[in-house]
Amino acid sequence: MGQSILSDIKKAAKKSLKARENELANTNRQLEILNGGLFADGELPSFKDKIAKTGQFPLKPRTLEILQINVGYTCNQVCEHCHVDAGPDRKEIMTRETMEQCLEVIRNTGAHTLDLTGGAPEMNPNFRWFVEEAAKAGIQDFIVRSNLTIIRSNKKYHDLPEFFKKHNVHVVSSMPHYTRGKTDKQRGDGVFDKSIKALQDLNAVGYGMPDSALRLDLVYNPSGAFLPGDQAAMEHDFKKALKEDFNIEFHNLFAITNLPISRFLDYLIASDNYEDYMYALVEAYNPAAVENVMCTNTISVSWDGWLYDCDFNQMLNLKVASKVKHIKDYNEDLLNDREIVISQHCYGCTAGAGSSCQGTVT
Amino acid sequence: MANSYYDPADLRKFGSITEWSEELGNKFFDYYGKVFEEGALSAREKSLIALAVAHVVKCPYCIDAYTKDGLQRGITKEEMMEAVHAGAAIESGATLVHGVQMMNKYNKLSM
């Protein structure tokens, strides 16, 4: 099976599912797949039934700690596993007006962490203004998720390390592997070399150095249909290899499981790995991870201001089950009283040591 | 059921062997789990040994399982292939070292 289909995917993968008019660009189709097949047949238990068994349904939020804002789906890369279906052809970008609504919330939130993501958040034309304004709110931990290559993609981004430093931004960057082959296979040719150069640029201004307060963390997600290994062991291997080969330093490695949605779902189906992957996720289910799963302490905001339990629900268009659904009506007390919207993709965050935008959760 | 002695889907049913002999099955899985924990050898090193042995004993289930295990641990394909060669070298060496027996016998029987 599949090799010719897979090579077709690789050729097509220069564009988003949306631009290719792929059926999975339709979120209802993705949910049909996730709710059908193995789960409809009863071969595997639904996520709802699984958490109900340990008395964890309905899933409710704990205290809000993280406000994650997706400032747009435009990206300079088209990664094969991207759950956002981001790319240069995606034009969904947060407007300044929505950013102003977000700033109002940031100034008043009880959350201690602000987490900006995308796409490549730096490609939003109002990104720098937004960071400057948000930094004034004095949030304890201000994260920007940078794909690294953006820093080297164009001269106008070369000064980003200095800009991040000026605003004491915590940089969290994707790095699928410490070898060129694996990185480029997942993220595209040349990505590895550009990422290495960008990491060296960040190190040069003080990011990631052993005693530095300028935090630089890396995100690892598997380059294929398998789950991430032990986070601490992976961090050890990454640190050793990046230091020895490129003299690069960083603080922590977050191992994140790929969730079976969007482009990763497309890959799983085309490579005939979908069923095995869902079995592996269900088999690795860990009730302890459910306790700390990120939707219980996070609110995710989309480029157009809608509110979600997490970035994955955002990409499946599963808005929060609350009277408050938009940033313009934001009310933390009402939101804290909601039930979290779940489906079978949630198994991705409860497998093994658990998975969140901050790495493992157990 | 697949029309073959080996069905990849059987791998995930491995645990069901305890249903017909609970005590022995559980003892085996406890032992198995313990063997692959971090010890004097790292879990990563043991994964590569398991991959090499999987090839030598020609177990398709084990090859699938330890290729995936290696990927999860960030083991590279070059490391995996070297491990397979280490297993293959011992296996072919085990054949070839019997050549000495053949030579001994030949010499004994020849004038």
Residues B32-90: pLDDT tens digits?
A: 999 999 999 999 999 999 999 999 999 999 999 999 999 999 999 999 999 999 999 99
A90-95: long-range pairs with CB below 8 Å, 24+: A90/A16, A90/A18, A90/A19, A90/A119, A92/A303, A92/A304, A93/A123, A93/A124, A93/A125, A93/A303, A94/A69, A94/A70, A94/A124, A94/A126, A94/A303, A94/A304, A94/A305, A95/A126
User: What pLDDT, on a 0 to 100 scale, did the predictor assign at position A12?
Assistant: 55
Q: Is ipTM strictly over 0.85?
A: no
CB contact under 8 A, B72 and A222: yes
The pLDDT value given to residue B2: 59
Contact criterion met (CB < 8 Å) for A222 and B12: no
Which residues have a Cβ under 8 Å from the Cβ of A338 and sit 6 or more positions away? Answer: A60, A61, A309, A320, A321, A322
Q: Which residues contact B36 (CB under 8 A, 6 or more apart)?
A: B43, B46, B47, B50
B74:A230 CB<8 A: no
Of A226, A230, A233, the CB nearest to B68: A226
Mean per-residue pLDDT, A295-312: 97
Decide if pLDDT at A3 tops 70: no
- Please give the DSSP secondary-structure letter assigned to residue A129: H
Question: Any residues with CB less than 8 A from the CB of A183 and at least 6 apart, and which?
Answer: A175, A176, A177, A191, A192, A195, A223
Nearest residue in A to B67, CA atom: A226
Is A252 within 8 Å of A217 (Cβ atoms)? yes
Q: pLDDT: is A191 or A100 the higher one?
A: A100
Decide if pLDDT at A129 tops 80: yes
Sequence-ordered list of residues with C-beta below 8 angstroms from that of A29, at least 6 positions apart, any chain: A23
Residues found in chain A = 362
Output the pLDDT for position A1. Answer: 44
Report, as an integer, the average pLDDT of A266-271: 96
pLDDT over threshold 70, residue A7: no
Distance from CA of B44 to the nearest CA of A (A): 9
Q: Say which range, A31-35, A176-180, A304-308, A311-315, has the weakest mean pLDDT.
A: A176-180
Q: What is the arithmetic mean of pLDDT over A107-132?
A: 96
- DSSP-derived secondary structure letter, A84: S
pLDDT in tens, A208-263: 999 999 999 999 999 899 999 999 999 999 999 999 999 999 999 999 999 999 99
Question: By a Cβ cutoff of 8 Å, what residues of chain A touch chain B?
Answer: 177, 179, 182, 222, 224, 226-230, 233-234, 237-238, 279, 283
**Is residue B91 exposed (0-12), middle (13-18) or buried (19+ Cβ within 10 Å)?**
middle
Per-residue confidence band for A189, with pLDDT thresholds at 50, 70 and 90: confident
Instruction: Copy the structure tokens of residue A47.
Output: 């996520």
Whole-number mean pLDDT of chain A?
93
DSSP characters over A259-320: PSSHHHHHHHHHTT-HHHHHHHHHHTB-HHHHHT-GGGTEEEE-TTSBEESSHHHHHTT-B-
Cβ of B71 and A237 within 8 Å? no
CA of B16, closest CA in chain A: separation in Å?
A: 14
pLDDT exceeds 70 at position A330: yes
Residue A271 has pLDDT above 50, yes or no: yes
pLDDT of res. A69: 98
Q: Record the pTM.
A: 0.90
Share of chain A above pLDDT 70, in %: 96
- Burial (CB < 10 A; 0-12, 13-18, 19+), residue A109, is buried
Q: Answer whether residue A360 shows pLDDT above 50.
A: yes
Per-residue pLDDT for A11 more than 90?
Answer: no
DSSP conformational letter for A340:
P
Instruction: Flag whether pLDDT at A9 surpasses 70.
Output: no
Local confidence band at B22 (pLDDT 50, 70, 90 cut-offs):
very high
**Is B66 in contact with B51 (CB distance < 8 Å)?**
yes
